[in-house]
Structure formats: C-alpha cells, structure tokens
C-alpha cells in the first residue's frame, strides 16, 4: 500500500473537535498529529493529511462545499490515488451528494461519517476513519463516484440519508440500502451507485436556491418575501410538496410569478420515499403546476433537488435541458 497515496482531508464537524468538561467545542480542535496517530500502522505510510477546516458542518454552505470539492480535485491533480474526507455527520448527506454531482475522476472519494468524536463513550470515529481509508485503497472503490462509509457499511452518496443523529447505525440507503460493507478485512461492493450526468467544464453551482416545505396552510408569507425581494432575487426554488407533489392553493399565484420572472421552480415529494405524480388535476396538484412551467423533481429528496438544481443552473442549463438533468436519477 505504500506506493498508493491517499489524501485525508480534515473538513470539520464535531468529529474534528476536542472536549472540554465533556462538551464538544470548536475552541479546542483535535490536532493533525493526534488524527495522524489514529491511523492504523498498515495504512499510515499511504496517508497524506490535509488539515483544511475544523468548523461545524452545520456552518457549511453550497459555495463552501463547492470550494471543498475543488480542494479535493486538487489532491487528485497532484497525484493522489484516492481522497478521504473526515467530517461531521450533520450535513454529510448534502456534502457527499453535491460532491458526487461534481466529481469527474475515477479515483475514489470517500466521506467518513460518524456521530460522535473520539473520546466520547460509544464513538466509532477511529474505526470509521480507518475503514474509509481502507476502502479508498481498494480496487472495488475505483470508478464508483462518491461513497459514504458509516457503521462498517458503504452507501452511495446519491442515496444516503441520515435517519438518526445518534448511535452507530444512523445512516441508511433510502431506496437501495447499503451498497457495500467492510467484512473480515475486505471491501465488498454488491451493487454500483447510480450517478447523474457529470459536467466536465468548470462552473460554480448557483448560491441562492431556496427550499420550502409544504405544511398545513403555511408558507404563503415566505413566498411573499421570495417574490417581493427584487433587490436580492433567488436563483431557483424547490418545493417539497404534499404526497405526489401537491401544494396549498394559495401558493399558486406566487409560483406563477416566479416562473414568469424566469426563476426555475421544481417540485418533489416531502415523503421519505416519495416521487412526483401526474395523476391529479385539482388546484395545487403537480399536473396543474406543470401547465405553467413548474418542473418535476421525480424521486429526488428535497435536499437532493435543491443541490441538483443549483448544479444545473450553475452549468447554465435551461428549461428542457434542466428538466432532463433533474430526472436523470
């Protein structure tokens, strides 16, 4: 393994923070030397540590995550055989998914996800870190896009969800389950991740894509603000609709105004395993919204749809091209 070079990028989250009186604090980050000492001896020679950030992952934005992906890309361009990201769990499903939409290389990119920092009883941070490094060195991970290593399992970045914020088994594959695991010292992948189209030309994802969840009679005031703020217009809007993509009828005039002003509006289902349905024609149903240009997000989750819309807008896709890209799932 010594001839293979892995870049281990420290990207923040509680996992990179220290403890003060039993409380996780960013004021006492874990040192690079300490993290280096956590790496199994048989892997240590292959690892180059990049101490990039110790901020909470809840402080990340789309722009900052895109900056992180640029840093990861630079590691490959400089000769890294693989890249592992050590970060917190709060936003890992979004960070990994956005990275997967932007990752153009066959080299493995693995996010190590765990809920508790080293030193907290029950933490598996050290194990997950080393399993991610071990996976990155494997032949099986090559050409698979972005994977997330958590609890001894491997998940496609395009499918992972965090369903609990505690414990070792707080992650799952929403539609496909885990696609692999580390078992008896070997990496096993039993299905390949499904990835969307990857754009070769460099671009920056749109910053101001908003997300609004449908709920009983709520949301109209938010839409009033979004449609009335001419000085700071949004780039796009994702609606997490009821059931198969339905919205409160009072929302319709605001959505029409946004579409008329050239703002891409996408509807998905707010259900955990939902999809947009075109089988109803009552006011607020997706079929009615489609008539004036609202786009279909298919099986995308609300979080995924927001990121994919940001990427599509950043890549300068318009109307039919953008709709086709969103449905490439």
Query: 257-309, pLDDT tens digit by residue?
Result: 999 999 999 999 999 999 999 999 999 999 999 999 999 999 999 999 999 99
In three-state secondary structure terms, 29 is strand
Give the percent of the chain with pLDDT over 70.
Answer: 95
8 A C-beta contact, residue 155 and residue 147:
yes
The full set of domain ranges for the chain reads: 6-189, 209-326
Average pLDDT score over the chain: 92
- Dist. CA 239–CA 297, nearest whole Å: 9
For 176-229, the pLDDT digits (tens) are 999 999 998 899 999 999 999 999 888 999 999 999 999 999 999 999 999 987
The domain over range 209-326 is classified in CATH as 3.40.50.40: yes
pLDDT at 1 > cutoff 60: no
pLDDT-derived band at 159 (thresholds 50, 70, 90) equals very high
In three-state secondary structure terms, 109 is strand
Q: How many residues does the chain have?
A: 329
Could you name the CATH architecture of 6-189? 3-Layer(aba) Sandwich (3.40)
Query: Any bridge partners for residue 148, and if so which?
Result: 111, 155
0.85 surpassed by pTM: yes
Q: Exposed e or buried b for every residue in 223-242, given b needs 16+ CB within 10 A? A: beebbeeeeeebbbbbbbbb
Among 56-65, 114-123, 243-252, the range scoring the smallest mean pLDDT is: 114-123
Do the two domains 6-189 and 209-326 of this chain adopt the same fold?
Answer: yes
Q: Report pLDDT for 26.
A: 67
Query: What percent helix, strand, coil does the chain show, rounded to 5?
Result: 30, 25, 45
Q: Report pLDDT for 61.
A: 94
Q: Report pLDDT for 18.
A: 66
- Dist. CA 199–CA 194, nearest whole Å: 16
């Amino acid at each position: 393994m010594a001839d293979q070079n892995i870049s281990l990028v420290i990207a923040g989250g509680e996992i990179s923070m220290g403890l003060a009186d039993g409380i996780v604090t960013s004021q006492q980050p874990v040192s690079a030397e300490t993290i280096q000492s956590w790496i199994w001896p048989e892997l240590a020679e292959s690892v180059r540590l990049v101490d990039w950030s110790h901020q909470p992952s809840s402080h990340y934005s789309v722009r900052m995550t895109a900056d992180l992906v640029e840093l990861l890309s630079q590691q490959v361009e400089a000769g890294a055989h693989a890249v592992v990201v050590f970060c917190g769990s709060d936003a890992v499903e979004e960070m990994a998914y956005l990275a997967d939409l932007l990752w153009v290389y066959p080299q493995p990119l693995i996010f190590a996800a765990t809920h508790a920092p080293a030193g907290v009883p029950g933490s598996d941070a050290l194990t997950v870190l080393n399993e991610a490094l071990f996976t990155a060195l494997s032949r099986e991970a090559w050409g698979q896009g972005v994977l997330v290593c958590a609890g001894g399992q491997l998940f496609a970045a395009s499918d992972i969800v965090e369903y609990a914020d505690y414990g070792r088994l707080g992650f799952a594959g929403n539609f496909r389950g885990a696609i692999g695991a580390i078992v008896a010292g070997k990496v096993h992948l039993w299905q390949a991740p499904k990835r969307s189209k990857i754009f070769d030309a460099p671009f920056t994802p749109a910053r101001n894509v908003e997300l609004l969840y449908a709920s009983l009679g709520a949301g109209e005031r938010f839409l009033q603000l979004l449609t009335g703020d001419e000085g700071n217009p949004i780039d796009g809007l994702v609606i997490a609709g009821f059931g198969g993509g339905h919205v409160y009828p009072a929302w319709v005039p605001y959505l029409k105004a946004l579409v008329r002003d050239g703002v891409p509006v996408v509807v998905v289902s707010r259900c955990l395993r939902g999809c947009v349905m075109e089988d109803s024609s009552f006011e607020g149903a997706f079929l009615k919204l489609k008539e004036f240009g609202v786009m279909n997000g298919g099986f995308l989750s609300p979080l995924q749809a927001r990121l994919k819309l940001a990427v599509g807008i950043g890549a300068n896709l318009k109307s039919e091209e953008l709709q086709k890209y969103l449905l490439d799932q």
